[in-house]
Chains A and B, each alone.
Chain A
Amino acid sequence: MPRLEDLSEVERKTVTFFPCMEFDSTPWVSLSKDLSQSKVALITTAGLHVRGDKPFISDFKGGDPSFRVIPSNTSPADILQSHVSIGFDHTGFYKDMNIAFPIDRLRELVDRGVIGSVSDNYYSFMGAIRDPRRVVDDTGPQVAQLLKDEGVDVAFLVPI
């Protein structure tokens, strides 16, 4: 988003009043190997899922805290978005899903030798979650465990 002072009144209020958790400390782990040897996973809050998988729902109180697994070798033709909010412009995503789910870009980074590999699975959460506690307590740790199980070195989080 542009800086708050550059937003319209309506947008500024939306951002300012959207609930946000506050933490006092930061967990820190340094990358233990070269990036060119590291396995990278993509995680988005764009509300994506594989075509045929269950879409996210918009009427869940506080936001849908569930997640979807998107195998990294999924054809982009089989990826759909169920974050149906009209609060953001979908046009850029229609044109090119890499704008919030850089599936092609990460492949190119492997080819260029910048990163070692991509994980077998990527993950999507829903955006606009007003009450993130279930993500923090439940589904977030579940995905973290899946990433650890797969030996992922770097999690790359991209919202929309």
Chain B
Amino acid sequence: MLVALVREHVEKVKPPRALFVPFPYGHTLGKPNDPEYQHSVIASALDLLNRPSGPVLADFQGEAGPKELIQASAVQPSTSTINGTNPADEVTSLRELYERWVTDHDGRTMVGLSGIPQRRFRGTVRFMEEYAQNGGADMKERPEDVSVPQFMRYCVDGIKAFYYEARMSQRSNDTEEEIHSWFWGETAISKLIQDVAKRMNETDDAELKVFANGLAR
């Protein structure tokens, strides 16, 4: 039994029981922090188990609407704010808000992929700065079987989660669009992420360009 986000794929794969939901990627059960709404989606999926034969493809009747994910290139950065800010100091300034998020959410956090504790993220910022400058940076925390660009993605993923969770701790009513616009428009770290991506893009290495596209676009 499957909740499905792409109806056209279900039609091709023909799984026994699929519930198509009209929600954007990343929002499979509809609404975060709305347990009863999520239960209504799950109940509709479980209901498919009562069908006598299949394949079954049912449609969940939910309000969705198209929601475009805001990428870096869609945001006009506030250069005066960004250029006057040191990214490592910016990270430190968000620490208290981030730690409040973790406390308020019983320890739930999406920070941690690089294995480097957030209190040492200034070192991660230094790694990113060195990489953006000369492309030759590395970190001793990188596991041997993880490539440098892959490790960079883990690092950037953790830093982004740290920023988003800190921001949501401070401004819990902000929409997702507002948070993306803040991140890509007003933070010094977003400029650094784009500088790292630019460095990766400047090579002839096709694989590295793919990694760049996964950092910012």
Binding site for B on A (CB under 8 A): 1-4, 6-8, 11, 15-16, 18, 20-31, 35, 51, 55, 57-59, 75-77, 79-82, 84-100, 102, 104-105, 108-109, 114-115, 154-160
Contacts and interface: CB of A to CB of B under 8 A. Distances in A.
B3 interface: yes
28 contacts: A6-B66, A23-B12, A23-B14, A26-B54, A26-B55, A30-B52, A57-B146, A59-B147, A59-B149, A77-B106, A77-B107, A82-B154, A88-B24, A88-B69, A90-B160, A90-B161, A91-B180, A92-B26, A93-B110, A94-B168, A99-B28, A102-B42, A114-B46, A154-B1, A157-B2, A158-B28, A158-B29, A159-B5
Which 7 A-B pairs give the minimum distances between C-beta atoms? A77-B107, A88-B25, A96-B32, A95-B32, A88-B26, A157-B2, A26-B55
Contact of A25 (B14, B32, B109, B153): B14
Nearest to A75: B107
Interface of B: 1-9, 12-16, 22-33, 35, 38-39, 42-43, 45-46, 49, 52-55, 64-69, 71, 106-110, 112-113, 146-147, 149-150, 153-154, 156-157, 160-161, 164-165, 168, 176, 179-180, 207, 210-211, 214-217
Contact of A55 (B25, B154, B179): B154
Nearest to A86: B214
Contacts, number: 198
Contacts of B216: 86
A35 B46 contact: yes
Contact of B168 (A95, A155, A158): A95
A80 B110 contact: yes
Contact of B39 (A16, A82, A105): A105
Given A84-B156, A105-B38, A159-B28, 18 more contacts: A2-B65, A3-B7, A3-B22, A4-B8, A6-B65, A11-B68, A23-B13, A26-B16, A35-B46, A58-B153, A76-B106, A77-B106, A80-B112, A88-B69, A100-B26, A102-B38, A108-B35, A109-B42
Contacts of B156: 84
